């Protein structure tokens, strides 16, 4: 018998990596990577693309010029095929950290602009898929085993209206979403969301407020104020037969970096300019008036004082998520936790650029007692890796956009398939919101 050592084993060694151009939900080019192992196992992943990006996130490498609106990915494909592939060939795909470190060693730039975050993220995810295939496990199970996590189905955040950069800036606020923490299964969340989504559509159509569908599948509204969106959302929840704040709550992504810099903010829709203190005050008024349990990027990515002040005032009652503010960076999460800024982080794998860095961010958040929300981008594809990551890492939440369009529904539907494998009782339900007013109210009700 041949001795089994590192020379002849593992069969999980990477034998081939290939990148091809595919197209995303906006019709823009994207990078798909296939990683093949010596055993024949195959992993495949596609890079997503943001529209309201943080300035400190990994940068996609695009070709520029006039063709394809400058969005070509020829250079990113070359990064994978000519630079990353030779360096990763022969490595053990089961050691994700080694593969990711090898990628990082090839790009010492600050924001992965040498190789391109689109090249690195698709490769890194494809390695994880290949290792899962080799192990004969679904990706969520492989991720849970590999990272020593207890898998659970995530609590979804689902967009009803799009705004900001996703709807021609017709309203300033980017995402008006619902969460259904009071539902006892993932399946029930889907059902309630369907009712609220179409109730919102009916109300908007009857009031002449409907312009179409925004980037992430939510309704594209023609509201006269940002608060009209909140009022309409409350009306939609009621029309769906729900009491706002009971089973269903509101979640907002303010994406304030899109309308503010240096502590000055301009709400174009209402023709109002304000400083950081006034923005915090205005949002605080919304928290008093509407059943909002979660709010993302309430101030700009450069407004540290504003985020600390917002968290000091409202962190005891709502989830405060840093997206552009933290850009899936473990170091920034640690720093923010020490400062008392935010109490949750959005985890976008392509913001970090590799799986290992994203998992480090997720863990740092969990260790700090924070929430962690695995998230899609506004430019998406049929790739469902994030449904598996959110489940495999456990304890988390999932933000995917709205409740229409297949690049969104693919992620929700994948969670339903996982639910069948994992069991309906593996759903975290409202647990991630336990430190918000919603969680406190329900604890009291349950105790009574
Ligand atoms: P994106 O934004 O357009 O950059 O993907 C989504 C978000 O802000 O959560
Ligand atoms: Zn965001």
Omega before residue 114 within 30° of 0, cis: no
Out of 134, 157, 216, 357, which one is annotated catalytic? Answer: 216
Measured in Å, residue 366 CA sits from the centre of ligand 1 at 22
Q: Give the model confidence (pLDDT) of 174-205 as tens digits.
A: 999 999 999 999 999 999 999 999 999 999 99
Cα–Cα distance between 177 and 295 in angstroms, integer? 10
Total residue length of the chain: 448
Closest atom, ligand 1, to C-alpha of 49: 5
Q: Which ligand is nearest to the CA of 51?
A: 1
Q: Give the model confidence (pLDDT) of 414-445 as tens digits.
A: 999 999 999 988 999 999 999 999 999 998 88
Measured in Å, residue 165 CA sits from the centre of ligand 1 at 9
Q: Contact at 8 Å (CB) between 326 and 334?
A: no
Domain spans in the chain, listed from the N-terminal domain onward: 14-136, 155-447
Measured in Å, residue 98 CA sits from the centre of ligand 2 at 30
Closest atom, ligand 1, to C-alpha of 174: 8
pTM over 0.85? The answer is: yes
CATH 3.20.20.120 fits 155-447, yes or no: yes
Cα–Cα distance between 122 and 218 in angstroms, integer? 26
Q: In terms of DSSP bridges, do strands 371-375 and 397-401 run parallel, antiparallel, or are they unpaired?
A: parallel
Which residues fall within 8 angstroms of residue 254, CB to CB, at 6 or more apart? 173, 174, 283, 295, 296, 297, 298, 299
Q: Which ligand is nearest to the CA of 401?
A: 1
User: Smallest Cα–Cα separation from 142: which of 150, 134, 151, 132?
Assistant: 132
Measured in Å, residue 421 CA sits from the centre of ligand 2 at 31
- What's the pLDDT band for 127 if we cut at 50, 70, 90? very high
Instruction: State which of 24, 49, 50 you would mutate to test the pocket of ligand 1, scoring each by most atoms of that ligand within 8 A of its C-beta.
Output: 50
Closest atom, ligand 1, to C-alpha of 52: 4
User: Smallest Cα–Cα separation from 339: which of 304, 313, 373?
Assistant: 304
**Nearest residue (CA) to ligand 1, atom 2:** 52
Measured in Å, residue 7 CA sits from the centre of ligand 2 at 46
Cα–Cα distance between 129 and 140 in angstroms, integer? 10
Out of 348, 380, 407, 414, which one is annotated catalytic? Answer: 348
Instruction: State which of 30, 57, 159, 378 you would mutate to test the pocket of ligand 1, scoring each by most atoms of that ligand within 8 A of its C-beta.
Output: 378
More confident residue, 221 or 448: 221
pLDDT at 131 > cutoff 80: yes
- What's the pLDDT band for 2 if we cut at 50, 70, 90? very low
Closest atom, ligand 1, to C-alpha of 324: 8
Q: Is 216 a catalytic residue?
A: yes
Q: Give the model confidence (pLDDT) of 27-61 as tens digits.
A: 999 999 999 999 999 999 999 999 999 999 999 99
Instruction: State which of 117, 297, 323 you would mutate to test the pocket of ligand 1, scoring each by most atoms of that ligand within 8 A of its C-beta.
Output: 323
Q: Which two tokens stand for residue 183?
A: 């539902």
Q: Contact at 8 Å (CB) between 263 and 303?
A: yes
| H or E element in which residue 327 lies | none
Cα 87 to Cα 31, 107, 110, 126, 303: the distances in Å are 18, 12, 20, 15, 40
| Class for the domain spanning 14-136 | alpha beta
User: Smallest Cα–Cα separation from 296: which of 344, 241, 364, 236?
Assistant: 344
Cα–Cα distance between 439 and 432 in angstroms, integer? 9
Q: Which ligand is nearest to the CA of 399?
A: 1
Q: Which residues pair with 23 in a beta bridge?
A: 29
Cα 441 to Cα 182, 407, 444: the distances in Å are 12, 35, 5
Q: What average pLDDT does this structure show over 314-336?
A: 98
Three-state DSSP at 436 gives coil
Measured in Å, residue 145 CA sits from the centre of ligand 2 at 29
Q: Which residues line ligand 1 (CB under 6 A)?
A: 50-53, 165, 174, 253, 255, 323, 375, 377-378
């Amino acid at each position: 018998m041949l001795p089994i050592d590192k020379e002849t084993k593992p069969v999980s060694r990477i034998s081939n990596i290939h990148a091809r151009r595919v197209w995303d939900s906006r019709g823009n080019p994207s990078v798909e990577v296939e990683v093949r192992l010596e055993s024949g196992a195959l992993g495949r992943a596609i890079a997503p693309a943001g529209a309201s990006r943080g300035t400190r996130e990994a940068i996609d490498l695009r070709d520029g010029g006039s063709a394809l609106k400058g969005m070509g990915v020829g250079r990113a494909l070359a990064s994978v095929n000519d630079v990353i592939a030779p360096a990763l060939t022969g490595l053990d795909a089961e050691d994700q950290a080694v593969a990711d470190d090898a990628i990082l060693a090839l790009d010492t730039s600050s924001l992965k602009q040498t190789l391109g975050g689109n090249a690195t993220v698709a490769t890194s995810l494809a390695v994880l898929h290949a290792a899962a295939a080799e192990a004969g496990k679904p990706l969520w199970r492989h991720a849970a085993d590999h990272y020593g996590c207890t898998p659970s189905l995530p609590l979804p955040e689902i967009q009803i209206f799009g705004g900001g950069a996703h709807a021609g800036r017709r309203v300033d606020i980017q995402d008006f979403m619902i969460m259904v923490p009071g539902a006892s299964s993932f399946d029930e969340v889907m059902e309630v969301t369907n009712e609220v989504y179409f109730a919102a559509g009916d109300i908007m159509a009857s009031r002449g407020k409907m312009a179409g569908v925004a980037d992430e599948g939510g309704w594209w509204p023609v509201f006269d104020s940002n608060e009209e969106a909140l009022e309409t959302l409350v009306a939609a929840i009621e029309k769906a037969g729900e009491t706002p704040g009971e089973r269903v709550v509101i979640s907002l992504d303010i994406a304030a970096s899109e309308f503010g810099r240096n502590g000055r903010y301009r709400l174009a829709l209402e023709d109002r300019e304000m400083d950081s203190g006034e923005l915090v005050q205005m949002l605080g008024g919304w928290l008093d008036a509407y059943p909002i349990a979660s709010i993302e990027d309430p101030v700009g990515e450069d407004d540290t004082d504003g985020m600390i002040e917002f968290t000091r005032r409202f962190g005891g009652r709502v989830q405060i998520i840093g997206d552009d503010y933290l850009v899936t960076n473990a170091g920034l999460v640690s720093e923010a936790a020490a400062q008392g800024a935010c109490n949750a982080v959005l985890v976008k794998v392509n913001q970090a650029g590799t799986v290992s860095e994203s998992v480090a961010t997720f863990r740092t958040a969990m260790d700090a007692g924070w929430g962690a929300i695995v998230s899609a981008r506004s430019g998406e594809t049929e790739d469902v890796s994030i449904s598996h990551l959110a489940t495999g890492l456990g304890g988390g939440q999932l933000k995917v956009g709205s409740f229409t369009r297949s690049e969104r529904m693919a992620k929700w539907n994948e969670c339903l398939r996982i639910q069948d494998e994992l069991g309906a009782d593996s759903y975290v339900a409202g647990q991630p919101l336990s430190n918000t007013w919603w969680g406190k109210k329900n604890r009291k009700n349950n105790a009574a």
